[in-house]
Amino acid sequence: MELRLFYEGDNMKISEKGVCVKGFSAAGVKDGKYGLAIVLSERRCTTSLMITSNKIKAAPLLVSAEHAEKEVYGVVVNSGNANAFTGERGMVDAGVMCSAVASRLNLSSDNFLVASTGVIGRQLDMDVIEGLIERASQRLSSESSASVEAARAIMTTDTFEKVISVETVLNDGTVVEIGGIAKGSGMIAPDLNHATMLCFITTSAYIPENKIDEILSEAVEDSFNLLVVDGDTSTNDVVVLFANGMAGNRDVDENFTDSLNFVAKELAKMIAKDGEGATKYIEATVKNAASLEDARKAARAIVGSNLVKTAVFGGDPNWGRIVSAVGYSGCNLEQDKMSLFVSESGREVCLVRKGNPLALDSTEELEEAENVFAGSEIYITLDLGLGKAEATAFGCDLTYDYVKINSEYTT
Amino acid sequence: MELRLFYEGDNMKISEKGVCVKGFSAAGVKDGKYGLAIVLSERRCTTSLMITSNKIKAAPLLVSAEHAEKEVYGVVVNSGNANAFTGERGMVDAGVMCSAVASRLNLSSDNFLVASTGVIGRQLDMDVIEGLIERASQRLSSESSASVEAARAIMTTDTFEKVISVETVLNDGTVVEIGGIAKGSGMIAPDLNHATMLCFITTSAYIPENKIDEILSEAVEDSFNLLVVDGDTSTNDVVVLFANGMAGNRDVDENFTDSLNFVAKELAKMIAKDGEGATKYIEATVKNAASLEDARKAARAIVGSNLVKTAVFGGDPNWGRIVSAVGYSGCNLEQDKMSLFVSESGREVCLVRKGNPLALDSTEELEEAENVFAGSEIYITLDLGLGKAEATAFGCDLTYDYVKINSEYTT
C-alpha cells in the first residue's frame, strides 16, 4: 500500500531526505536473515529514548538506556534476532555491537544506542553481526538513498521501507528538518506509558534537554501508542529522537511539534498499512468523548478487535462488533448518544444515529455499508456525544496471511 | 475434540443428566438460523446471575437482571440474534420472550430470565421466536436428551454441544446433583469482574441466598474468566446458577463447591476446545506467582496472545512469544527466576530453566519442543519462582478457519 499524505501545512513541506537530514548519515546492509543499520550524527545529539513497557526487555534496550545518559551520536540496529531473553551473553553482545561500530568511527562505545528485532530467545551470531557492522560503517552516507537502505535493513516481515521527512519553518524563521525511519509489522500493540516498535527520528533542530522527553512522549502518545496490529506488545520496542542542533535555532515551537507529530503519525500509519498479512487499512476516530483517555481507549479497542479486523477483511459490515469493542474498552458511554459512521474514498454512511441502528437487515444503509467495507481503506467514526475529546487509532485487517506468516515464523 | 475428564474425586461422579438434574426439565428447538432453549425448575430457585462487563449490554441481560430479583423458575434463550444494541424495541422483545414462555407454563413473566446470542444490532424476528417458544414449551422433558437438545439449540458457530453433570455426596451424606450447558466459540475473552459467554448451571442442592453469589463468582473466576478465544468480550455474556433445593440438604460444603468448580472448568475447557476454527487446545498454568492475580494475568496473557496462538497452530516452538506475553501481562517477574515447560501427552520438555534459555538453535530441547508443539493439546507451564500462587487458563490456536468464520459471519 502506498503512503497518502493527509496534511502538508504552510510551515511544513515533505522532503526526500529520510533520516539523512543536516548532519546525519546512514547505512544499511543485509546478510541472509540478518540486517544491520547505522544512523550517525556528526555532532553530539540531545536524545530522547522511549522503550517497551514489556517486563521482559531485550538486552539492547537495557544497554541503550545506560548509553542514553551519555553523549549520543547514533544508533546501531540489527534485524533477524531480537537479542531478548538471552541473559548475560545478550548484554555482552549488545555492548559489543556498540563498541564494534564506535571503534570504526573513532567514537566510544557509549556514544551509541543499540536496538534489535527478530526472534526472541536466540543468541546473536556475532560473526555475522560484526561483518555487517564492518560493511555498514564503510557505506555511511548522507544521501537519501542511505536512509532507505537503513530502513530496509531493519525490516523483518515488513513488505516496504518506512521513511518520511519534512522541512519546517519555525516562527523565528529558522528552517529545521525532521526525518524518520521505522520498522514494524507484527507483535505490535499500543502501550499507555511507553513506545512501541523500532523508530528512529532525526532532526537538525536544537531541542532543549529539558523539553525533549515531553516532546517525544506527546508525539508517541497520538501515533505509535494508538497503533495495533495484533495486540502483542514486544520485548524490543523503541523510539528514539536524535536532535543535533545544526539548524541553528534557539528553541523549538509549535511548528516543530506539529511537524514531529506529523512524522510520527505517518510512520505509525505506514506500520498499520504494512501490518502482517494486511490487505486493508483501518482508521478509527472517536469524537466527543468525555475525556482524551476515553477517546484513545475506544479508538484503540476498535482497531484492536480481532472480530472487527476479520469483518473488515471479509468486507462484512458487521458493525455490531464495533460498538461491542467500544463497550468493553472501558470508556464512558451512553448508548442513546452514540452515532457510528463508516467511510471509504469519501463515501460515508451512518450506521447508528444517537443509539438508533439504521443498518438493519435489508436497509439501504446496510447495503451502502457493504460497499464501504469492500474498500481498501476503511475509516470508522464513532461519536460518543458526551464531551469534546477526540483520538484516532491506526490498524489493519486480520487475514489468512497473518495466520500464515505467524505460524511459520521461526521454523 | 472430545471431552477428557481430569478429575473425578471420591465424593463426586460424572452423571449423564446435563441440566436435567432433579426437578429440572429442558427443551431445545431450531428454525433456520434461530434456535431456542428453555430450562425450567418445578420449584422456585435461588439464583445467581453474572453478566458481561461490556458497557453495551444486550436487552435480555437487562431484563434478566430485573427478573433475577424476583421468584425465578427458569430461563428462555435464543440463538441467531443477540438482541443487543436494539433500543427500546429490544427491551420489549426480551420481555415478550419471558411472557410468551410464562403464559404457556402458568407462570408469570418475571419468573423467567432471558438470554440471547448471535448478531449484534438486528431486531429479533418475533414471529419466529414465538413459534419456537410454542414448540419448545411442548417438548419440555427431564430426560438427559432434552439437555443435549437445549445445548444444541443455543449453538451459533459452536461445533458440538457443551453439557456436563455430576453427582456429589456432601459431608452430611446428602447426594446433590449439578448440571450445566454452555455455548461459546467466538467473541470470547476473560473479564475480571463478571462472567463470559452463555452458561446455565442447575443444581438440586439448596444454596443459602446469602452464599450463592460468592459461590458462583468463585467458580467463574477460575473457569470462564480464564478462558480466551479471541479477546473480544461480548455484549451478551451470562452465567446463571439455579439451585432448586430438591436434594434436601441444609447447607452446602466444600464438596459442593469443588464439584461446581469442576463443572464450570470443564465447560470452560469445552468452549476453548470448540473455539472458532480451533485445531488445538492450549492450557497455560502459571505457578509460584507472587499473587493469585499475577498468576491469572500471566496465564490469561499466554492463551490470549495471537502470536502464541498462531505459533501453536503452526507447530512452531517459538517459545519467546510465551515469555513476551508474560512480560506484557503486568505480572511481577524476575527473568532469572523464570522456568518454562511445555508438554503434550505426558511428554514434557524444559525450554527455560531459571532464566537460561535451553531451546536454542539446534539444541535437543528445541527438537523436543517441536514434537510437543506438533500435538493437539499443548500444556504450557511457567514457573515464576516468586511465590506460591497458581492459575490455569484455557485457550485454543488461531487458524485460517477463525479468519474464515469471522470474515463471513453476517453476510
Distance to chain B for A236, nearest Cα, Å: 10
Question: CA angle B334-B336-B338, nearest 5°?
Answer: 75
CB distance B267 to B179 below 8 Å: no
Q: Do B320 and A409 touch (CB under 8 A)?
A: no
Joined grid coordinates for residue A100 = 564494534
Domains of chain A: which residue ranges? Answer: 12-273, 281-407
Residue numbers in A near B156 (CB within 8 A): none
pLDDT of B176 over the 60 cut: yes
Distance to chain B for A213, nearest Cα, Å: 23
pLDDT attached to residue B236:
84
Residue B186 or residue B70, greater confidence: B70
Residue numbers in B near A193 (CB within 8 A): none
Q: Do A407 and B307 touch (CB under 8 A)?
A: no
Q: Where are the alpha helices (DSSP H) in B250-363?
A: 254-273, 292-304, 306-314, 320-328
Substitution target from A197, A403, A408 for chain B, most B beta carbons within 10 A:
A403
Q: What is d(CA B190, CA A30) in angstroms, rounded to the nearest whole number? A: 43
The band of B410, judged by pLDDT with boundaries at 50, 70 and 90, is: low
Cα nearest neighbour of A232 on chain B: B305
Residue numbers in B near A234 (CB within 8 A): 324
Distance to chain B for A313, nearest Cα, Å: 6
Nearest CA to B82 out of B135, B34, B45, B120 is that of B120
The class level of CATH for A12-273 reads alpha beta
Residue numbers in A near B331 (CB within 8 A): 55
Q: Do A232 and B328 touch (CB under 8 A)?
A: yes
Residue A73 CA from chain centroid, whole number: 22
Nearest CA to A376 out of A266, A272, A305 is that of A272
Q: Do A324 and B235 touch (CB under 8 A)?
A: yes
pLDDT attached to residue A4:
37
pLDDT attached to residue A126:
97
Residue pairs between chains A and B whose CB atoms are closer than 8 Å: 229
Please state the rounded mean pLDDT for residues B347-351.
Answer: 92
User: Which candidate from A86, A316, A336 shows the least CB-CB separation from B411?
Assistant: A316
pLDDT attached to residue B61:
94
User: Which candidate from B57, B361, B409 shows the least CB-CB separation from A318?
Assistant: B409
Please state the rounded mean pLDDT for residues B267-283.
Answer: 91
Please state the rounded mean pLDDT for residues B328-343.
Answer: 93
User: Which candidate from B232, B316, B409 shows the least CB-CB separation from A411?
Assistant: B316
- Which bin fits A32, alpha (ψ -120 to 50), beta or left (φ > 0)? left
Q: What is d(CA B228, CA B216) in angstroms, rounded to the nearest whole number? A: 19
Q: What is the pLDDT along chain A (411 residues), one digit of tens a residue?
A: 333 344 455 789 999 999 999 999 999 999 999 999 999 999 999 999 998 888 889 999 999 999 999 999 999 999 999 999 998 999 999 999 999 999 999 999 999 999 999 888 899 999 999 999 999 999 999 999 999 999 999 998 888 999 999 999 999 999 999 999 998 876 666 553 444 588 999 999 999 999 999 999 999 988 888 888 776 778 888 889 999 999 999 999 999 999 999 999 999 999 899 888 889 999 999 999 999 999 999 999 999 998 899 999 999 888 989 998 999 899 999 999 999 999 988 889 999 999 988 877 778 888 899 999 999 999 999 999 999 999 999 999 998 888 888 887 664
Cα nearest neighbour of A333 on chain B: B55
Q: Do A409 and B233 touch (CB under 8 A)?
A: no
pLDDT attached to residue B341:
96
Q: Do B54 and A319 touch (CB under 8 A)?
A: no
Is B235 designated active site?
Answer: no
Q: Does domain B281-407 have CATH number 3.90.1640.30?
A: no
User: Which candidate from A52, A56, A328 shows the least CB-CB separation from B233?
Assistant: A328
Please state the rounded mean pLDDT for residues B370-376.
Answer: 91
Q: How many CA atoms lie within 13 A of B191 on its CB side?
A: 26
Distance to chain A for B191, nearest Cα, Å: 9
Active site residues of A: 196
Substitution target from B127, B303, B406 for chain A, most A beta carbons within 10 A:
B406
Distance to chain A for B247, nearest Cα, Å: 39
Residue A123 CA from chain centroid, whole number: 26
For CA atoms A398, A149, A52, A123, the dihedral sign is positive
Q: Do A403 and B310 touch (CB under 8 A)?
A: yes
User: Which candidate from B235, B370, B403 shows the least CB-CB separation from A403?
Assistant: B403
Distance to chain B for A146, nearest Cα, Å: 32
